[in-house]
Structure formats: C-alpha cells, structure tokens
Amino acid sequence: MVMNEKLFLMTFSVFIGLIPVVLSALPSLISSLYSNLWIWLPAISVLVILSGAIFCFVAIRMAFRQNLVGALRNE
C-alpha cells in the first residue's frame, strides 16, 4: 500500500513536470535538426520513475525491519 502511494506520486509528479519541459523545449524539438531528441524525454522520465521506485522500495524495506511502534513511542 505504501509503495503504491509512492509510485503514484512519483508518476504523477513526473508527468506534471513533463508539461513545462515539453513547452519550453518545443521550438528545438520541432526543428528537423534535433528530431532525435524526442527519444530522450521519455527515456529520462522512465529512469527517474524507476530509480525513485527502487529507492522507495529499499527505504520501505529498511523501515519495516525496525520496530516501528517502539520508534514512534520514543518520539
């Protein structure tokens, strides 16, 4: 459940971030000289989501190994 929430937030934020990226790079991307740059935009987005998912998974696994109730009581 926690991983699904994190994955949704990462995916949503990447897609929201793609809007200004595409708008700002649109003049360059329309040019025939830079037509192969369209490949990099989804590739970088997928890498950001994939690395975020891996780091969240590792952090969640490390957090669940500890006694969370005891840690929250000490806070």
Please name the residues in contact with 36: beta carbons below 8 A apart, sequence gap of 6 or more: none
If pLDDT is split at 50, 70 and 90, which confidence band does 70 have? confident
d(CA 67, CA 65) in angstroms, rounded, equals 7
User: Helices (DSSP H) in 1-75: which residue ranges?
Assistant: 2-30, 40-65, 68-74
What is the average pLDDT across 47-73?
87
SS3 (DSSP) at 60: helix
Give the count of domains, the chain.
1
Q: Is there a contact between 50 and 14 (Cβ–Cβ < 8 Å)? A: no
Quote the domain boundaries for residue 60.
2-74
Considering Cα of 46, then 49, then 52, then 54, what sign does the dihedral take?
Answer: negative
Label residue 68 by pLDDT band (50, 70, 90): confident
pLDDT value, residue 71: 74
